[in-house]
Amino acid sequence: MKSLVPPPLILDFASAVAWREQARSEGRRVVLTNGVFDLLHRGHLEYLHRSAALGDSLIVAVNSDAAVRLLKGPTRPLNSAGDRAYALASLRCVAASFVFAGPRLADEIRALRPDVYTKAGDYTIASLDASERDALLTVGADIQIMPFIAGNSTTSLIAKGATAFGG
């Protein structure tokens, strides 16, 4: 039996830019977010659903494995960038995902020119990376800080698992 579900749309960066231009030509409002998304949990899922509701299509930029090690330490990520991008793109609320190499997303923001950019509520506009904030302001993106869902973090899940298994 054929599946009626389209395969996850995981793009390289050049294809993400082309995808964005196609969305623009169709008049779609594109929402961009980014992050590690190492172990998907309810906080991530609520955040992604709320982000998607702000536009017509949500694209998620996923930190590369090397960037995650810089940001989170040598034991992370638990899942590879390709696996994380696949999981995200498999969600109904996510139109597409791509992996970005650097620790910051400023160049990608300038190229994609999203209509809306979302970040989780553990950030403020003032605490966004200055280069990313400047890129967002340059392209005229509507910056939205989404509510933080307390008690849901990958770090706490890892700690809970380590405690449960005697780590």
Domains in the chain, please, with CATH? 10-164 (3.40.50.620)
pLDDT for position 155: 55
Which residue is listed with tokens 């939205």?
144
* Cis peptide, bond prior to residue 74, ω within 30 of zero: no
Query: Burial level of 5, CB count in 10 A (0-12/13-18/19+)?
Result: exposed
Give the integer Cα–Cα distance in Å for 73 and 23.
36
Q: What is the pLDDT of residues 45-92, one digit of tens each?
A: 999 999 999 999 999 999 999 999 999 899 999 999 999 999 999 999
* Contact assessment for residue 106 and residue 130, using Cβ atoms and an 8 Å cutoff: no
Is the pLDDT assigned to residue 18 strictly greater than 90?
yes
pLDDT tens-digit series, residues 120-132 = 988 899 999 999 9
Mean pLDDT (whole number) for 133-146:
97
pLDDT at position 82 is 97
> Do the beta carbons of residue 38 and residue 85 sit within 8 Å?
no
Sorting pLDDT into bands at 50, 70 and 90, what band is 151? low
Q: Considering just the CA atoms, what is the radius of gyration of the chain in Å?
A: 16
pLDDT band for position 113 (cuts 50, 70, 90):
very high
Place 39 in a pLDDT band, splitting at 50, 70 and 90: confident
Q: Which of 166, 167, 126, 161 is nearest to 143 (CA)?
A: 126
Residue 102 reports pLDDT greater than 60: yes
